[in-house]
Amino acid sequence: MSRDGRNWQFEIRNLMNIKDSNFQFPISNFKRMDAISFIFFLIVIIPSAILHEYMHGWVAYQLGDPTAELQGRLTLDPRVHIDKFGTILLPLLMLLVGFATGSYFLFAYAKPVPYNPYNLKNQKWGPAAVAAAGPLSNFALALVFGLMMQFLPLTATMSGLFAVVVYANVLLAVFNLVPIPPLDGSKVLYAVLPDSMWKVRQTLEQYGMIILLVFIFFLFDLILPIISWLFVLFTGGGGLF
């Protein structure tokens, strides 16, 4: 087992600059990262987002759509997935805001992998499978690092770093499964909605970005219990909550 008492939790406190005596990794403390923590989290979240996008293209290719391959996106080479604004400028801007305000919050994304839904073999479930592939890849990555935390003889520091990887990927997966366009969860929702509810889809498509912004700024806390539960599940708990 990798845990040495609560030492690895202490390392995460140091990493995330958490001062509370009642430790809840970093679900409730994420907005209080320092600059070094912010940079490390960014180093973790960007390759996780790239894997997420790659898996969209890979599943689409398996289901008959070669768009990602034809456009050179069916690769894990980070250079083709980096979005100048979402992967570079936005995190840097948020880092500068953090320097000015002392409160760091991270949001970053990779360039979406294109696909043509009309090329998919299954027109009803194909888009949902392509959409779900991204979050599932993040869950898989979280599971791998969580199992290593539980069963490898890691130092407290390494366990703390691995815990950040688990959290970052759980966060990325759960957020993308929210059923609001353009997030992946909306494609899954469309696959299960009956045809009689076409107005729901129409409304979501029309006002999706507005609804998403409202969710991010005012309703994001609704998914924190899910993120918390999955983090504990993947890491084996360890008395975190």
What is the set of active-site residues? 53
**Residue 33, strand partner residues:** 104
Count Cα neighbours of 160 within 13 Å in the Cβ-side half-sphere: 22
Distance of alpha carbon 80 from alpha carbon 181, whole angstroms: 24
Quote the CA–CA distance of 214 and 182 in Å, as a whole number: 14
Produce one character per residue of 200-210: b if its CB has 16 or more CB atoms within 10 Å, e if not. eeeebeeebee
17's CB contacts (< 8 A; 6+ apart) are: 32, 33, 34, 37
